[in-house]
Amino acid sequence: MVVSVGWAIALITLLTVHGDLPASDRWWIWTCVTGLGLGLFGLVYVPYLKRSRARAARRRAAAGSGPADSE
């Protein structure tokens, strides 16, 4: 989350000085947009992925505790 905030601050700063940036350095704005977008995606997706893996582990544990699981 801290890194996403950093990208947001950098983006706001670059948008503030947009007029003073030479055209060859304006790609930094898109770098900040991409970093912020990927950070926000990670903040949403990682908890979903952890919940999904926990559910799968519970299903495997429940399936393994049955009487049919013998070696």
Give the tens place of pLDDT for each residue, 2-21.
Answer: 999 999 999 999 999 999 99
Q: Does the predicted TM-score (pTM) go above 0.85?
A: no
- Mean pLDDT rounded to a whole number for the chain: 90
Tell whether 9 is covered by a domain: yes
**For position 64, what pLDDT does the model report?**
80
- Residue 66, pLDDT above cutoff 80: no
Which residue range forms the structural domain that includes residue 52? 2-62
33 domain residue, yes or no = yes
Which single residue is written with the structure tokens 């903040």? 43
Q: How far apart are CA 52 and CA 66, in angstroms?
A: 22
pLDDT at 40: 95
Angle at 15 between CA 14 and CA 18, to 5 degrees: 80
Q: Residue 9 is encoded by which pair of tokens?
A: 């601050």
Q: How many domains does the chain have?
A: 1
Distance of CA 1 to the CA centre of its chain: 9
Q: How confident is the model at residue 1 (pLDDT cuts 50, 70, 90)?
A: confident
